[in-house]
Each structure stands twice: as C-alpha cells, then as structure tokens.
Chains A and B, each alone.
Chain A
Amino acid sequence: MKKMKLYIDNNEVEVMEGTTILEAAQGLNITIPTLCHHEDLCIAGNCRVCVVEVEGSEMLSAACATPVSTGMRIKTNSLKVRDSRRTIIDMLLSEHAGECVTCQRSGNCELQTLAVLYGSPDNHLMDISIKTEPDRSSSSIIKDDSKCIKCQRCVRTCQEIQKIGALTMSGKGEHAKVSTFFELPLNTVVCTNCGQCVIRCPTGALVERTYIDEVWDVIGNSDVHTVVQTAPAVRVGLGEALGHDAGGRFTGQMVSALRKLGFDAVFDTNFTADLTIIEEGSELLNRLTNVIKGSGEALLPMFTSCSPGWIKFIEHQFPHLLGHLSTCKSPQQMFGALAKTRWSEKAQIEPEKISSISIMPCTAKKFEAARPEMNDSGYRDVDYVLTTRELAKMIKQAGIDFDKLDESECDSLLGKHSGAAVIFGATGGVMEAAIRTVYELVTGRPVPFENLNITAVRGMEGIREATLRIEGTVEKYNFLEGVELKVAVAHGLKNANAIMELVSQGSAPWHFVEVMACPGGCLSGGGQPIPTSPEIREARARAIYEEDESLPIRKSHENPEITRIYEEFLTDGPCGHKSHHLLHTHYTPRR
C-alpha cells in the first residue's frame, strides 16, 4: 500500500492509503468532533459533525468517511467549518427533546459535550422536538426516542457486533426513527438485553433501567438485611466511572465503599464463580462419561451458561440447541439462591427479611434476575441488579471519597475466591478456570501450563480454539486417557452465531464451548463505564489477569469456602440433589 503525504491545519503528516482524514488527524493529536462514528463500528457518515474543509473543494467533507489523498490540504478549524459544525449541532438540538438535568447520561453525554463546546450560546432554530413516552418494557434497558439523534450506532451495534438486528431505522425524513419490529415493546422482541447498544449510544436515548432508589430504600430499612455481591469485571471497571484511567483494579476500595454505603453483608460473585466451576466441571465430566462410555445420552459440546444475553439469544435463535447449555445457573443466580438459604441459615435471618443485591457489569443480568426460573430459594433469588455505573453513582451520591478509602476484604462464607473466579470477567476466563479444575480432577496434576496461564484461550480474537490431551488419568477417569479435549471460546453474539451454525449442522468438533455475549466478555458488558473501545477492553483484560496472578489461590477447587459448602450445605456433592434444586435450571424456547 502506498504512503500519502498531506497537510492538516498546516501540519505535514504521512499515512497509508485508505486512511481517513479523521484517523490522519488523530495521528497528529488534532481532535475532530464526531457523533455517529465509533471505533467498533462501520462508517456511517450520517451526522456530519466531523466536517472539514478540503482545499479546492466547495463542499465540506465528512472526516470519518473521506479517505486521504496525496497533497490534500485540510482545515479542521476554519470559519466555514466552525459555522457548519455549529449549524449541525444546533439542528440536532432543535429536534432533541432532552432535559439534561434529569437525564441519566448527563455529564457523560457526547451530544451534551459537543453542544456546550460548539453549539450556539443562543440557539435560534425552531424547536421541532417531539417528546414521546420512553419504552420502559424491558427490565434492562430504557429506550427514549425523544433523545435520539439517529446516529444509528445502536442499529449498527446490534447488527454488526451482535448479529441480532433487534433495532432498525424505520420511516424516512423527519419520520425516521430507531424502531423494533413494528414498534413492538423491547421486551417482546429478539433483543438479548446485552446493552452493547447502550454503551455505544452517544446520548441518553438508550440507558439501563436503574434501581438505585429501590436499593437505597432497602439499605435504609432497618428491618431488611441487605446482602451484596459484585461480579469480577466490576472491580476493573469501577475506577473509570470515578475518574481513573482504564486498567485500574479497585477490589479493596470497592469492598470498603460497599460497607460505607450501608450494605449489611458484603460478598463476592467470585465465590459462586468458583462454585460454578465445580458444578459445571462436574457436569462436563458427567456428559463426557455418558458419551464416551456410551452409557447414556448427553449433548456435546456443552455450552457455558453464565451470560444471560447469550441464553436469551439461544432461546430465540437456536432453541433446538438449548439442551447443549450447561444446566448451571450463572454465578449471580447461584449466589442469590445461596444468600437466601445458606447465608440465611448461618446468619439466622429469615430469608424474607433478606434483600439480595448484585453489582454487575451487565444490563442483561437485570433481566436474568427477574426470570421466573430464578426463585429456587423460595424467594426471588436476586432482588435488585445494579450496573457498575449505578454503583459509581451511589458512591458519589453518598459523598464517599473513593480514592481515600482503605482496602478491605469481603465477609466470609460467600466471599472468598480464587484467581480462576476473577478471570470469569474476561472472554476465555470461564474456560480457563474450568480447565484448571477439570484437568486436575482427572489427572491429579495441575494443568501443564506455565504459571497456570492458559494463554491459548485468552485474547480478543473472536473465536479461539484449543486442544488439550489428557494423559496420566487417575483411576476414576481412566476412560479419558489419551482423549483430546477440544474447546472453543467465542465473544460477541455474531461469533456465537458462527459457532451455533456449526453445532446446528453437526460439524462442531468441540466438547466444551464458552460464550460471552459481549465483545471482550463481561469486562465490556453493557453495564460497564462508557465509552468502550478496543484499547479500553485490552486495559481491563490486563487488569483482570493481573488480579488473578495476585491472588494466593488460583484454582476454584482450592477455595476453602467451596470445600466447606460441600461439607456443610451441598452435602450430596456437585450436581447432587440439593445443588440441582438451588443451582441448576432449564430454559425454554422463545420466538
């Protein structure tokens, strides 16, 4: 490819052919404002906020959509550019029925930022905005068309990254809007609640449904005992929502903050992530036993079942493959069931007085907690789900100086965890954690990888595969001697879709497949701080693996609280009767 020399605001720059003006300017650290553009998505070029002047051309060009050419002279800050930019933003605002003071995105809204920076101080355009009732049907997401600027990032996200296509642009001209099929409520269409559209929406048109007030209410009610759990990815995202760069780890401060907020018992979803590994690992071994010994029916590959967006995806798109899903509930739901049984018994608090709250990097977890399948404790297992963003907001509301907090540890019983649990937050993490345990169970030896790091299943490649030869088995598992365990990992539902097509055709070679609905895994879930980008996801993933290496216990089966729960509570063992009742479930097809 050719190199091309051009000039942006009189600065010379040399870039490869095919580079856009926007990218070339970024290389010079010149900021051109954008709205419809997003690094993860295809170019749309519909908002025109990024217009620049190209010498020799009457018309302004959209920097995001115009490739450079040799000798180009570009002005990003001329009078003409500033005027057009202002007009474009003023026009967007004239259609925008927003009220920043009540908007969830205020302070982190790209439209607001641009309006403050570039809009006219006194917008003289006619107000043609239309206030419509938001769609509040989903337990996860609120869609408010009044605030939509029709940038279509959400449509592209849902189609390109997730291959779901729950959203479209309908109508045209002034009637164009982001729609579901026949404007049906979000909770009745194929939407998986993944929230990937939410973290890419530049405005408050798509936000999570918030439960902060409900949680303050239970915290403030002295008759209610509040039990909180936090997912692994929250600790590597929270800092960003509180002013830190991506990649920081704040586990200890987060635990202290949760105590300061007033939660009565502070636990960790990581504990039930470890428990998931024991249950899911046992289930995998049971399935392998059935298939290899031919003693019964078992569907392989087995799919992980931690990601609620992924589960709803199968229910809609591949209902005939639901039998491949591990019957394990997600760690959030296992935790909820135990909070109202095991913890209730130990703490001697009646379950009806317990409110179980989870902090998740995920919007789909809100939907999961509300599923009818999730009441096996006899109560709703998880009462409220907050996103990482909502937790950050509560910390700010409470006036807590997060940076000055000392580190502290979770309460015991449902709080201890291994490094294997922490990596559940990254794509490939559940697989790695499972292999660390299953291999050791089967051979009596740790996995043959340096420092337990199974790098083959790590990384950001959309689909990754690995093969592990099982040798030197213990007696119970000698039927697995010489078996090559084949696994695959996929993240983002578009990649999941590719895997499912193969499974559907019967040509999938794997025994075990991990899927996380969001690109990068939970660490870039729909409930994580906004924005997201490839660099941010990398930084959070690094933090997750650092956290794993920093912990004294790195394997789920070595977590002493896990040993204890099987001795004292789940006494008929992994996949036994009691765990089946509390920790496993089945899902049903949807159209």
Chain B
Amino acid sequence: MSISLSVKTAIEESGNSRENLMSVLQIIRSDLGTLSPAILTEVADQMGLSRADVYGTATFYSFLETTPVGKYSIRICRSISCDMKNKNAVREALENHLFIKKGETTKDGMFTLTETNCLGHCHEGPVMLVNDEIHTELTPDSAVKIIEEIRIREGVDE
C-alpha cells in the first residue's frame, strides 16, 4: 500500500483528531513497518498537526519505532525485577551471539536488540519479547536457543 493511502485508511479507521494520533500510528506501524520521516510527514499533513508533534508522540512509545529495525525485534525487559534476575547476562549472551550491541540491528536485517520498560511478567523474569511473542524465565542459553530456532525457521545459514 502506498504511504498516503495507508495513512488515509488509518485515519478513517481511527478518527482525525489529535487524540487519535497514537492509534493511527499503531495501525501504520503494523502496515508499513518503521515510522520513517516520509510516513510521519504524511501523517502530520493529513491530520493537520506539526511534524515535530507527530514525531514526539511516536518517540514516546518504544513500540512505535522511528529508526529502521530488523524483521525480528528482540526487547529485553529492563525493569527492576528482571534486572535483579540477571537480565544483563541474557542481554550479553544475545549481544555476543548476534554480534551487535543493544540498540543495533544485525547486518542481515533480521534482528534488532533493545531494552524496554516493564513487560508485565515480573514474576517470571527475566523476560523478552520477540515481535509479539513473550518468552519468560530466560537464561542466557535459553535466550540464544530461541533466536537460533528463528534462524532455522527463516532458513538462514550460520
């Protein structure tokens, strides 16, 4: 779908006032992927908002990415419970395995690794979200294994 059509449809679905902005952005994020400058400009123009305002709103929500992300977004919970259950070890294991640092995307564009605020599974920490799927009670090894399985599914060679 073209950017302008996708934006138009999202606005028709959600409404065209400022309080609908977040829901418009959510729809477009799932339709078009990362919210690029071109997309947010179109949203601003069609909704009669300032571009900066739309950008500010998008950046408030970590799930509305404004910078390019991989096909799989790995988000490790950084809140205090997961932190106390050693989420740093999980993160480091993934960093080493994927050859990227937190905030980066693998060269093949497959994985992006980030930390996020509480995912609501404090009793089963440490947890991570891979796209929409939650993985709980992780260890460094189990986290790496989950990523490995995805690689195999995607048919990517090591």
A residues with a Cβ closer than 8 A to B are 159, 164-172, 179-182, 189-190
Contact = CB atoms under 8 A, between A and B. Distances in A.
Q: How large is the interface on B (under 10, 10 to 19, 20 to 34, 35 or more residues)?
A: 10 to 19
A182 B41 CA distance: 10
B52 A189 contact: yes
A172 B60 contact: yes
Given A181-B51, A190-B51, A168 B56 contact: yes
A432 to B, nearest CB: 33
Contacts of B57: 168
Contacts of A167: 52
Interface in B45-62: 49-53, 55-57, 59-60
B39 to A, nearest CB: 11
B74 interface: no
B60 A181 contact: no
Contacts of A169: 56, 60
Interface pairs A-B: 7 shortest CB-CB: A165-B50, A168-B56, A168-B52, A170-B59, A181-B51, A181-B52, A170-B56
B49 A165 contact: yes
B136 interface: no
B50 A159 contact: yes
Interface of B: 37, 40-41, 49-53, 55-57, 59-60, 66
B55 A182 contact: yes
6 contacts: A165-B52, A181-B51, A181-B52, A181-B55, A182-B37, A189-B52
Contacts of B60: 169-172
B49 A168 contact: no
A170 B50 contact: no
Contacts of B52: 165-168, 179-181, 189
Contact of B66 (A159, A168, A182): A182
Given A171-B60, A172-B60, A179 B55 contact: yes
Contacts of A181: 37, 40-41, 51-52, 55
Nearest to A183: B55
Q: Which applies to chain A's interface (DSSP): helix, strand, loop or mixed? A: loop
B3 to A, nearest CB: 16
Contacts of A180: 52
Contacts of A168: 50, 52-53, 55-57
Contact of B50 (A166, A171, A182): A166
A165 B45 CA distance: 13
Given A172-B60, A182-B37, A182-B66, A164 B50 contact: yes
Contacts of A171: 59-60
A170 B55 contact: yes
Nearest to B51: A181
B47 to A, nearest CB: 12
Contacts of B59: 170-172, 179
B38 to A, nearest CB: 11
Contact of A179 (B41, B49, B56): B56
Contacts of A190: 50-51
Nearest to A170: B59
A189 B52 CA distance: 9
Given A172-B60, A181-B40, A165 B66 contact: no
Contacts of A172: 59-60
Nearest to B62: A172
B44 to A, nearest CB: 8
A167 B40 CA distance: 15
A127 to B, nearest CB: 22
Contacts of B56: 168-170, 179
A180 B49 CA distance: 14
A165 B41 CA distance: 13
A478 B34 CA distance: 64
Contacts of B53: 159, 165, 168
Contacts of A164: 50
Contacts of A179: 52, 55-56, 59
A171 B62 CA distance: 8
Nearest to B44: A181
Contacts of B55: 168, 170, 179, 181-182
Centre residue among A169, A182, A190 by max chain B CB count within 10 A: A182
Nearest to B66: A182
Contacts of A182: 37, 40, 55, 66
